[in-house]
Structure 1
Amino acid sequence: MDFSYTDEQELLVDSIKEFCERFFTEAKIRDMYEKESMSDELIQEYLEAGFGLMGIPEELGGIPCDMQTLGLLTEEFAHYSGVITPLLNNTLAMRDLIDFGSEEQVAEAMEAYCETGKPTFSLGFSEPAAGSDNMNMSCVTKKQADGTYLLNGQKTWVTQGAAFPNILVVSKDEDPSRENKGMSMWLVPLETKGLTTAPLHKIGQQIMPFCEVYFDDVVLTEDMRVGEEGQGFYNLMKNFETERCLIVAQAIGVAQAAMDDAAAYVSERMTFGKPLANYQLIQLKLVEMETAIQNSRNMLYKTLWKMDNGESVRIDSALLKRYACQEATKVASEAMQIYGGLGFTTETRLGRLWADLRGFQIAGGTDEIMVYIAGRQLAKQYARK
Structure 2
Amino acid sequence: MDFSLTDEQELLIESIQEFCERNLDEDKISAMFENHGMSDELIKAYLEAGFGLMGIPEELGGVPCDRVTLGILTEEFAHCAGTITPFLNNTLAMCDMIDFGSPEQVRMCMDAYLETGKPIFSLGFSEPGAGSDNASMTSVTRKQADGTYVLSGQKTWVTQGEVFPYVFVVSKDEDPSPENRSMSMWLVPLESEGLSTAPLEKRGQQIMPFCEMYFDDVVLTEDMRVGEEGAGFKNLMKNFEMERSLIVAQCLGCAQACMDDAAAYASDRIVFGKPIASYELIQQKLTDMEIALENTRNMLYKTLWKMDRGESIRIDSALLKRYGAMQCAWVCSEAVQIFGGLGYTTETRVGRIANDVRGMQIAGGTDEIMVYIAGRQLAKKYARK
Q: Residue 132 of structure 1 corresponds to which residue in structure 2? A: 132
String of CA shifts for 1:233-253, please: whole Å, max 9, x gaps.
Answer: 000000000100000000000
| Equivalent residue runs for 1:228-377 within 5 Å | 228-377=228-377
Task: Please name the residue that 1:16 is paired with.
Answer: 16
- 1:51 is aligned to 51
TM-score, normalised on structure 2?
1.00
2:197 aligned with 1:197: yes
Q: CA deviation at 1:21?
A: 0.8
Letter in 2 for 1:138: T
1-structure distance, mates of 2:208, 2:238: 24
Task: Find the aligned partners of 1:382 and 1:35 in 2 and give their Cα distance.
Answer: 51
How far has the Cα of 1:277 moved from its partner? 1.2
User: How far apart, in 2, do the equivalents of 1:113 and 1:288 lie?
Assistant: 42
Q: Mapping of 1:115-264 within 5 angstroms? A: 115-264=115-264
The one-letter code of the counterpart of 1:257 is A
**Does residue 3 of structure 1 match 2:7?**
no
Counterpart CA distance in 2 for 1:70 and 1:35 is 28
In structure 2, what is the Cα distance between the partners aligned to 1:132 and 1:49?
35
Give the distance between the partners of 1:208 and 1:246, measured in 2 at CA: 17
Q: Which digits, 9 at most, give the CA deviation of each residue in 1:151-210, with x for residues without a partner?
A: 000000000000000000000000111111100000000001000000000100011111
Q: Secondary structure at the match of 2:171?
A: strand
State the alpha-carbon separation in 2 of the partners of residues 153 and 336 from structure 1.
41
Matched, 1:68 2:73: no
Q: Distance in 2 between matches of 1:116 and 1:91?
A: 13
How far apart are the structure 1 equivalents of 2:217 and 2:331?
47
CA distance in 1 between partners of 2:157 and 2:89 (Å): 14
Letter in 2 for 1:200: L
Displacement of 1:364? 0.3
Q: CA deviation at 1:369?
A: 0.2
Name stretches of at least 5 consecutive residues in structure 1 with no aligned partner. Answer: none
The amino acid across from 2:223 in the alignment is: D
Amino acid of the structure 1 residue aligned with 2:190: L
Paired letter, 1:220: L
Secondary structure (helix, strand or coil) at the match of 2:175 reads: coil
**Deviation of residue 266 (structure 1)?**
1.0
Say which SS state the counterpart of residue 180 (structure 2) adopts: coil
Percentage of matched positions with identical amino acids: 75
- C-alpha distance in structure 2 between counterparts of 1:336 and 1:145, whole Å: 60
Residue type of the partner of 1:16? Answer: I
Shift of 1:264: 0.6
What is the CA–CA distance in structure 2 between the aligned matches of 1:229 and 1:282, rounded to whole Å? 57
1:103 equivalenced with 2:103 (yes/no): yes
4+ runs of 1 displaced by more than 2 Å? none
Tell me, in whole angstroms, the C-alpha distance in 2 between the residues paired with 1:142 and 1:334: 50
Letter in 1 for 2:80: Y
Query: What SS class does the counterpart of residue 306 from structure 1 fall into?
Result: helix
> 2:94 — aligned with what?
94
- The SS at the match of 1:150 is strand
- 2: CA distance between counterparts of 1:140 and 1:334? 44
Cα distance in 2, alignment partners of residues 130 and 305 from structure 1: 31
Find the aligned partners of 1:120 and 1:310 in 2 and give their Cα distance: 31
Q: What CA distance in whole angstroms lies between the structure 2 residues aligned with 1:66 and 1:309?
A: 10
Aligned letter for 2:111? E
Measured in 1, the distance between the counterparts of 2:64 and 2:182 equals 33
SS at match of 2:45: helix
TM-score (norm 1): 1.00
Give secondary structure in 2 for the equivalent of 1:37.
coil
Runs of 5+ consecutive residues of structure 2 not aligned to the other structure: none
Encode CA deviations 1:30-70: one digit per residue, 9 max, x unaligned.
00000100100000000000000000000000000000000
Where 1:19 maps in the other structure, the secondary structure is helix
Question: What SS does the aligned partner of 1:257 have?
Answer: helix
- Which residue in 2 is equivalent to 1:379? 379
Structure 2 residue identity aligned to 1:292: A
Alpha-carbon distance, 1:366 to partner: 0.2
